[in-house]
A and B are shown apart, each in its own frame.
Chain A
Amino acid sequence: EVQLVESGGGLVQPGRSLKLSCAASGFTFSNYGMHWIRQAPTKGLEWVASISPSGGSTYYRDSVKGRFTISRDNAKSTLYLQMDSLRSEDTATYYCATDTYGGYTYWGQGVMVTVSS
């Protein structure tokens, strides 16, 4: 059974940092591109960042470029999102998801990040 389990969320002050993790199991992690997608409270879904299967290519939405870093450890089957210089508008539930045919086949349960003083 495929499982994606996010962790590392919480309440953080503006300007501070947080690192999210996504532990994968039930599939060959190193074969799949991975993504972080977020959803602000009562809002829609927003793609944040993605990484190729090898980790050699990364992509970011404009609003997080230079502040967020996506990475992966294929030996540990784990995806990461380092979030620096956090802003109130980054407040959201963050999901990790697998990439299949351009759609997101498997999603984690999500982890809440709240940026507030």
Chain B
Amino acid sequence: DTVLTQSPALAVSPGERVTISCKASESVSTRMHWYQQKPGQQPKLLIYKASNLASGVPARFSGSGSGTDFTLTIDPVEADDTATYFCQQSWNGPRTFGGGTKLELK
């Protein structure tokens, strides 16, 4: 299975720019998707196919990358962005998720 590796946690101040990375163990082309999950809630799709903004998602969120290296950028970060962010691939075999990056605001 394709393993997706994310940093466990990040802490940033409101108004700053933050990048969350996701590295795949093998190429996933551009079939990488990003989700935001707040405590007690279901995940919410932010970005699909690496760089496409999902409906209703603020333009502060953007995605980039292809192959094995992907990035989710939030610029500027707001207090409401405190959450865990997951990447997910749909290119190889069973769909897999990254372990999640917990974003905390200072």
Partner-B contacts on A (CB < 8 A)? 35, 44-47, 50, 59, 61-62, 95, 100-105, 107-110
Bound: A61/B91 CA distance, A: 15
List chain B residues, Cβ under 8 A from A95. Answer: 42-43
A100 touches B48 (CB 8 A): yes
A45 touches B42 (CB 8 A): no
- Among A44, A59, A108, which residue has its beta carbon within 8 angstroms of that of B86? A44
- Among A44, A101, A102, which residue has its beta carbon within 8 angstroms of that of B99? A44
> What are the interface flags for B21-59 relative to A under an 8 Å C-beta threshold, 1 for contact and 0 otherwise?
000000000010101000000111100110010100000
- Among B43, B90, B91, B99, which residue has its beta carbon within 8 angstroms of that of A107? B43
A102 touches B31 (CB 8 A): yes
Bound: A108/B44 CA distance, A: 10
List chain B residues, Cβ under 8 A from A103. Answer: 33, 45, 48-49, 54, 88, 90
List chain A residues, Cβ under 8 A from B31. Answer: 102
CB-CB nearest in chain B for A45: B97
List chain B residues, Cβ under 8 A from A61. Answer: 94
CB-CB nearest in chain A for B90: A102
Given contact pairs A44-B98, A101-B48, A102-B48, A108 touches B88 in the complex (Cβ within 8 A): no
Given contact pairs A95-B42, A107-B42, A44 touches B97 in the complex (Cβ within 8 A): yes
